[in-house]
Every structure is written in C-alpha cells, then in structure tokens.
Structure 1
C-alpha cells in the first residue's frame, strides 16, 4: 500500500466527512492530474481500506484524470505533459504548467 496515497486518502475522507457529517456517502468524484504526484490506482485501493467503518464505506469513487498541459513563454506554444520534464518541443525550459497538477474533490453524493 502506498503510504503517500494513504495519507492523502485519509485527508480526503476527513474533508468529505467535515461537509457531510454522519450521512451515508454514495459517490465521491475526484480530479487527479498526472503531475500531482498521486497515483490514481493506489488512491482507489487506499479509499476502499480507509473508508471502512465510516459513512463513506461502499461509496463509488470516480477519478477524472485530465491531461497535463503547459504553455511555452518563448514560442507561445501549448503542449501536453506526461511527466514533470518541463521542456517545450521548441527546446525552451521557460514554460508554465496550465493543467495537470489538480488534486481535488469535484463532487459528493449522499443518500
């Protein structure tokens, strides 16, 4: 089990419970970008384990995985990022990450 993802999952569950209280949660929607440092599959596993015995037990977890994107300050081009190697195809390292670092709860459904 990934310790990093377990800690993040526990914080996620605490945040959801702060908003929903004792109501049974049936669905949790997340957005996790590829540059966030979080492995979605590990988080899925941790969610099942960490939610046991809580109002989130048995909830469906869906994860939207948007692509990483960056904009080059040198040439103005926008390009995809699969990892944290921030290098434009033009060769410039003067880039701005515009998406892919997301790690957020986008919605929750309760019974």
Structure 2
C-alpha cells in the first residue's frame, strides 16, 4: 500500500513547516488528490491516522478534495473531463488524449495552533 509512504511524506512536510513557521499543533490537513493519481482517498484516511500518531499532527482531521482528471483531445480539440486513463474522449469517442490534470496530490492547506 503506497498510501502509507505518501502519508509519511505528508507528515514530513507538516513537520518541516512547523519548524519553519513555529507552530506546535496541527488541527487539520487538507489534501488535493487527482482522480488519475492512483491514490485511494479511503486508504489515505486510514494510513494518515496511523502515521500521524505521536507526531505534531496527532488527532488532526484529514480533509480530502478530489479533483477530476482532465485531458486535451487531439481529435476534437476539446478539453474534457476523464475518469481514468485510456478511456475514450467523452465528446468524440477518440483515444488521442493528452492528460492535463488529475495526476497530482498536494498539501493544500494546514490548520494549526
């Protein structure tokens, strides 16, 4: 489960920010997770609680904003929303899609004391 390693990275980011900005407690972490990122939000929630225990983020709420996948269709020249890779363009049915968004995962916001 790669979500455990991702959560460890998130806690590292949070701890680095705490040192840099001098805060002592994290109340909430807000993540943006793209639909094409191969990250399962439910697994992230489960892993986050385990990894955050006994850290500055112990007990913090994890908020997840799921962002859609987007692609540029070379056949019909449209920006379209896609649910997964290798599916046809919802506009024209073509398969010449260039992914433009939805692969990312980022810490968007921290609520701190």
Q: Does 1:73 align with 2:49?
A: no
Specify every segment of 5 or more residues in structure 2 that has no aligned partner in the other structure, as ranges.
none
Q: 1:22-81: per-residue Cα shift (whole Å, max 9, x none)?
A: 611111110001100100110011000100000100111100001112110221122221
Secondary structure of 1:53's counterpart equals coil
What does residue 42 of structure 1 align with? 43
Contact 2:82 2:89 in 1 (8 A): no
Q: How does 1:54-69 map to 2 (within 5 A)?
A: 54-69=55-70
Distance 1:6 1:84 in 2: 24
2:4 aligns with 6
Name 1:29's counterpart in structure 2.
30
Matched position secondary structure for 1:26: strand
Gaps of 5+ in 1: none
After TM superposition, give the deviation of residue 86 of structure 1 in Å. Answer: 4.5
In structure 1, C-alpha distance between the alignment counterparts of 2:33 and 2:62, rounded to whole Å? 12
| SS at structure 2 position matched to 1:14 | helix
Supply the distance in 1 between the matched residues of 2:73 and 2:84 (Cα, whole angstroms): 16
Under a length normalisation based on structure 1, what TM-score does the superposition of the two structures give? 0.89
